[in-house]
A = this chain, B = another copy of it.
Amino acid sequence: MQEHKGRAAFAAVDWGTSSFRLWLMTEKGDVLSERRSDEGMAKASAGCTFGKILKSHLSALGAGEDLPVIICGMAGARQGWTEAGYVTVPALPEAILKGAVRVPGEARDIRILPGLANRNPAHPDVMRGEETQLLGALGALGDGTHLACMPGTHSKWVRMAGHEVLEFSTYMTGELFDLLSKQSLLAHSLLGSEGMDMEAFRIAVSKAVAEPGRATNLLFAIRAGQLLEGAGADVSRARLSGTLIGLEIAGASGDALNAFSGTISLIVSGRLGDLYAEALTALSRPFITIAADDAVREGLARAARSLWFQSKE
Residues of chain A at the chain B interface (Cβ within 8 Å) = 86, 117-119, 121, 123-126, 154, 169-173, 175-176, 179-180, 183-185, 209, 211-217, 219-221, 223-225, 227-229, 244, 247-248, 250-252, 255
Contacts and interface: CB of A to CB of B under 8 A. Distances in A.
15 contacts: A119-B228, A124-B221, A124-B225, A124-B229, A169-B220, A170-B221, A172-B184, A176-B216, A212-B213, A212-B215, A212-B251, A213-B255, A215-B251, A216-B248, A217-B252
A126 B179 contact: no
Given A224-B126, A228-B117, A172 B185 contact: yes
Given A211-B251, A247-B216, A227 B179 contact: no
A101 B216 CA distance: 31
Contacts of A179: 179-180, 183-184
Nearest to A228: B124
Most buried by B among A124, A125, A229, A255: A124
B173 A216 contact: yes
A212 B248 CA distance: 10
Nearest to A224: B124
B126 A215 contact: no
Given A224-B124, A228-B126, A213 B172 contact: no
B213 A247 contact: yes
Contacts of A119: 228
A251 B172 CA distance: 19
A185 B223 CA distance: 25
Given A213-B250, A215-B251, A228-B119, A125 B172 contact: no
A117 B255 CA distance: 32
Contacts of A118: 224
A280 to B, nearest CB: 15
Contact of A123 (B86, B221, B223): B221
A126 B170 CA distance: 33
A48 B228 CA distance: 25
A60 to B, nearest CB: 32
Nearest to A118: B224
A220 B183 contact: no
A7 to B, nearest CB: 40
B124 A216 contact: no
A76 to B, nearest CB: 13
Nearest 9 Cβ contacts at the A-B interface = A213-B251, A213-B250, A212-B213, A214-B251, A124-B224, A170-B220, A172-B216, A212-B212, A171-B216
A125 B224 contact: yes
